[in-house]
Every structure is written in structure tokens, then in C-alpha cells.
């Protein structure tokens, strides 16, 4: 039997391993999900930093492109202003020739018409006309382009240009017959190009307005239609509130795609632009649905990490269950072995487990053979058998392991370590351990019984011999008596 402290230590280790086995799957799951969350957070921060850098670059490029486009429009208006000042009596043919020479489609994409509105036309004097080219575009504004003054927002831009003496932009103008909104660039014309200092001087020196009516979508599409920045969306509004009614340009609409307004998407950026006395708002962002592999990395890592964590959790849980089950079976086996050892070490008979060599022998067997237990394990069984009985024991042992029908109980002699011969009553069978078939035998020391039996047999033989001698004596006595009687008769007859 194992000492009590050894059993207690083994039990404590078993409980510790059981607790660790139950906790390990949850620790694996916790570590896996924690690592996944950390990796997702790091990649998300990196991606946001990367997208912010891309967005800042897009904003800088967009700002530069818008400024350049407005500069081109201003140059166009300054050229028209020079024509008006240089020709005090400007007629329609001169204006038509000037506009035709500009090639507006190439020089200023998106420009619908270029015109000059004199002071007299603005004040509504009879006979004053609008000089607007091309004529087919001006036709949408009514007879002689008079409808231009009735467009909401144009009059406000005209008054602002007249009062400030600088370029003024209108709000979005909805021109009849045009699907997209328009913008009016208005530049005042004063005598000798000089802008008077005071309001009264500007009022007296005012000659008229040079007007450029541009299609906002077409104008900005020339800038962003083939943007080198992938998945970029740009929206331009004519006021800071970014209301749908003030939308001048939307790249989604121009590219025939649809989606949520960029102003409502997370991650978009707004930048104010002061243009011609008005504040435009430039909104720039990237399409989330068009995100590539880089943008999806945090999501992919999160999903993949969660799946791997769950897989590791399931595998660890299965291993923990298997380990627990194996531990239970090991514990049962250990208990069974302890019970076997307890029985084997306390019985008085010898117990052998053997094949061609001794696999196990209890203390009783070692005492009978006169050896220490460690001296016999691994030794041939025939080492203990008396030479006169080795053939018998070998034949029956091998036959038993082969499955032959052999006597399962017989007696034979042992040769002890001290050279003493002892008789044992040997009962044998088989036991399967793993994939091995071994012999299992029990033996009782019957030396004293055999000796007593031999002594009894000797006594019986002597008694038998004595009985034979006694019978012979009785026979001889009877014969002598008969012979004596016969002699007596013979002597009597002789005397007669």
C-alpha cells in the first residue's frame, strides 16, 4: 500500500490538474479574443491614420483644383471686361465674335453662356438689351435673356458685385430646361478698369456686369471626372449648411452611382471656400462600400480572430474533456492497481505474472523463492524451477499461452536462492494486458505437506512390512506346531 502522505499529495495534484483543465479552455478563449481585440484596435488606428492622410491629400488636391478652376473663370471674365471697357459702343456682333474666338468648351468646361449686361439693361431702360452668347443657351432665359434677372440669387450677386467692385458668385440657380444647377460669376465693369473707392463713386462709374453662367456639375466634373484618387467622393455646396437645395456638384451623381450623401457618412471632412463673396463648403470622403482589402483588414482580422479563438476554445475544451476522462480512467486504473497490490501483497500465496520471463511477483512469492523482488523481475520463470521439473513446467506454460488445453493445476519443485528444494501447488490461467496475453499463476508452498506425506508413506511401508513379518511368524508358528504334533504321533507309533 502507498503511504498516506503519498496518496494525499497525489490527490492534491489531481485536483489541481482538474481545476486547470476546466479553466484552460476559457483562458484560451479569453486570450484569443483579447489578442483579436488588440489587433483589431491597432489595425483600426493604423487604417484611420492612413485614410486621414489620404483624405488630407485629397483635400489639398481638391482645394488646389477648385482655386485653379476659379482663377480660370476670373481670367475669362477679366478678358470680357477688357473688351467692354475698350469698346464703349459694344454691339452684339462684336460680342458674338469675341465669344466665338474663346472656344468656351475647351477653355472653360461647363460654361453655358458668357454675357454682358449694361447698366441700362439692369435698370430696365427701354431698348437696352443683354449681350448673351451662345444664342441657343440664352434662349432658355427668355426673350433677349431678360429672364436672367428673375433668377433667384442672381440679383443678389449682381448687387454685391456692384457694391464691392469685386467678383461675386450667386447661389445655385435653377435655369429653366436645365437638369443641373448653375452658378453665375458676376464681375462689375467700371470706367478705365479702376474701381472707385467710395460707394457713390462706384455707383456713378458703374457701366455694367460681365456674367458667366456655368453648369456646376460640368465645371467640376472636368476636375474630378477622372480623379487619380480611388473611391473618392466630392460634394460642393453653395452654403455652410450643406442642404440638398444648395448642392452644386456631386461626383456620385456624375459617375451614375448612388449612395448616402457624403455629409452623412462618418469619416468625411468639410472645408470652407470663400469664393466671390460667398462661402462654399467642400465635402470630401471615401466610399465605404468600395473599400479594398486594406480597408477591410480590421474587419477581417476581427472575424478571423474570433473564429480562430472559438476554434481554439472548442479544441481546448475537447482536449480538456478528453484529459479529464483520461484522468478519471487513470484514476480508476490506479485504484484497481492499488487494490490488486493490496490484495497481492497481503495474501499468503505466491502470485506470478509471466510470459517467457517473470513480469510480476508478490512478496509471498519472493519469500518462497528466497529472492528479493527486484532480483526476479525480468528473469526467466525456469530459473526458479528445479531441473527435474523444468521440461514439464516449460511445456505446460507455453501451451497455456498458445491456448492449448493443458492441466491448470499441478505441483512441481522450486530451487530457492539458497539451493533448497521446495514443493509448490501451482494453479495457472491467462490474463490480457493491452495486446499481450500473459500467464497468471498462484502457488502455495506445500513442502511440509509433501514431507509429511512422504513420512506417512514411509511409516505405512514399515507397518506393512511389519505386518508381513508378523504374518510370516504366525505362519511359521502354525507350521512348527503342526510339525510338532506330527512328530509326537510318529514317536508314539514308533514306541509301540
pLDDT at site 4: 41
What is the chain's length? 496
Beta carbons within 8 Å of 387's beta carbon, 6+ residues apart: 415
Cis amide bond preceding 13, omega within 30: no
pLDDT grade for 14, boundaries at 50, 70 and 90 = low
What pLDDT score was predicted for residue 326?
80
The pLDDT of residue 256: 38
Q: Are strands 278-286 and 421-433 parallel, antiparallel or unpaired?
A: unpaired
Contacts of 396-401 with CB under 8 Å at 24 or more apart are 396/428, 397/354, 397/428, 397/439, 400/428, 400/429, 400/430, 400/439, 401/355, 401/430, 401/437, 401/438, 401/439
Residue 104: per-residue pLDDT: 78
Residue with the bigger pLDDT between 95 and 479: it is 95
Total Cβ atoms within 10 A of residue 206: 20
Rounded Cα distance between 234 and 220, Å, is 9
Reported as a single tens digit per residue, the pLDDT across 315-343 is: 888 887 787 788 778 778 777 777 777 77
Mean pLDDT, residues 170-179 taken together: 80
pLDDT greater than 70 at residue 148: yes
Local confidence band at 8 (pLDDT 50, 70, 90 cut-offs): low
pLDDT digits (tens, 9 = 90+) for 378-436: 888 888 889 999 899 889 888 888 888 888 888 889 888 888 888 989 899 888 887 88
pTM above 0.75, yes or no: no
Residue 5's pLDDT is 45
- Would you state the pLDDT for residue 230? 63
Stronger pLDDT, 163 or 7, i.e. the higher one = 163
* Relative orientation angle of helices 4-86 and 297-346, to the nearest 10 degrees: 180
More confident residue, 117 or 146: 117
Average pLDDT, integer, range 46-73: 79
* 199 pLDDT above the threshold of 60: yes
Please report the pLDDT score of residue 202 as a whole number.
82
Helix, strand, coil content of the chain in percent (nearest 5) = 60, 20, 20
pLDDT band at 262 (very low <50, low <70, confident <90, very high): low
Determine the Cα–Cα distance for residues 46 and 54; give it in Å rounded to an integer: 12
pLDDT number for residue 229: 61
| DSSP, residue by residue, 191-204 | GGG---SSHHHHHH
Strand order in the sheet with 278-286: 247-250, 232-237, 278-286, 269-275
Unique residue bearing C-alpha cell 456624375: 254
Amino acid at each position: 500500500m502507498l503511504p498516506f502522505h503519498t496518496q494525499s499529495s497525489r490527490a492534491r495534484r489531481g485536483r489541481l490538474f482538474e481545476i486547470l483543465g476546466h479553466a484552460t479552455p476559457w483562458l484560451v478563449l479569453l486570450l484569443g479574443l483579447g489578442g483579436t481585440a488588440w489587433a483589431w484596435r491597432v489595425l483600426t488606428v493604423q487604417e484611420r491614420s492612413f485614410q486621414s492622410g489620404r483624405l488630407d491629400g485629397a483635400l489639398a488636391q481638391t482645394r488646389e483644383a477648385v482655386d485653379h478652376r476659379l482663377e480660370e473663370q476670373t481670367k475669362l471674365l477679366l478678358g470680357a471686361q477688357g473688351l467692354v471697357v475698350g469698346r464703349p459702343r459694344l454691339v452684339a456682333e462684336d460680342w458674338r465674335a469675341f465669344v466665338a474666338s474663346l472656344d468656351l468648351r475647351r477653355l472653360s468646361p461647363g460654361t453655358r453662356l458668357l454675357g454682358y449686361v449694361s447698366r441700362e439693361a439692369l435698370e430696365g431702360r427701354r431698348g437696352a438689351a443683354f449681350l448673351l452668347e451662345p444664342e441657343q443657351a440664352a434662349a432658355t432665359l427668355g426673350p433677349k435673356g431678360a429672364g436672367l434677372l428673375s433668377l433667384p440669387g442672381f440679383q443678389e450677386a449682381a448687387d454685391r458685385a456692384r457694391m464691392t467692385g469685386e467678383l461675386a458668385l450667386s447661389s445655385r440657380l435653377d435655369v429653366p430646361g436645365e437638369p443641373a444647377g448653375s452658378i453665375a460669376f458676376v464681375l462689375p465693369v467700371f470706367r478705365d478698369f479702376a474701381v472707385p473707392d467710395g460707394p457713390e463713386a462706384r455707383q456713378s462709374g458703374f457701366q455694367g456686369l460681365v456674367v458667366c453662367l456655368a453648369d456646376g456639375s460640368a465645371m467640376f466634373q472636368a476636375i474630378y471626372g477622372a480623379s487619380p484618387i480611388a473611391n473618392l467622393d466630392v460634394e460642393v455646396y453653395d452654403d455652410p449648411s450643406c442642404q440638398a437645395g444648395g448642392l452644386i456638384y456631386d461626383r456620385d451623381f456624375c459617375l451614375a452611382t448612388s449612395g448616402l450623401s457624403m455629409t452623412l457618412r462618418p469619416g468625411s471632412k468639410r472645408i470652407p471656400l470663400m469664393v466671390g463673396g460667398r462661402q462654399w463648403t467642400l465635402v470630401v470622403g471615401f466610399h465605404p462600400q468600395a473599400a479594398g482589402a486594406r480597408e477591410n483588414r480590421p474587419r477581417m482580422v476581427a472575424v478571423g480572430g474570433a473564429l480562430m479563438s472559438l476554434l481554439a476554445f472548442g479544441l481546448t475544451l475537447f482536449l480538456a474533456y478528453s484529459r479529464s476522462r483520461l484522468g478519471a480512467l487513470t484514476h480508476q486504473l490506479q485504484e484497481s492497481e492499488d487494490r490488486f497490490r493490496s490484495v497481492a501483497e497481503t495474501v499468503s500465496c505466491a502470485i506470478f505474472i509471466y510470459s517467457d520471463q517473470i513480469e510480476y511477483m508478490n512478496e509471498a512469492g519472493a519469500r518462497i523463492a528466497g529472492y528479493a523482488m527486484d532480483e526476479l523481475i525480468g528473469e526467466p520463470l525456469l530459473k526458479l524451477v528445479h531441473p527435474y521439473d523444468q521440461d514439464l513446467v516449460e511445456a505446460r506454460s507455453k501451451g497455456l499461452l498458445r491456448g492449448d488445453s493443458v492441466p491448470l493445476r499441478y505441483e512441481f519443485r522450486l530451487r530457492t536462492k539458497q539451493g533448497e528444494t521446495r514443493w509448490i501447488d501451482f494453479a495457472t490461467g491467462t490474463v490480457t494486458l493491452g495486446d499481450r496475453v500473459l500467464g497468471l499463476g498462484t502457488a502455495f508452498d506445500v513442502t511440509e505437506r509433501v514431507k509429511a506425506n512422504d513420512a506417512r508413506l514411509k511409516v505405512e511401508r514399515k507397518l506393512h512390512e511389519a505386518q508381513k513379518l508378523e504374518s510370516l511368524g504366525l505362519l511359521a508358528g502354525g507350521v512348527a506346531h503342526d510339525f510338532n504334533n506330527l512328530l509326537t504321533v510318529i514317536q508314539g507309533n514308533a514306541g509301540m
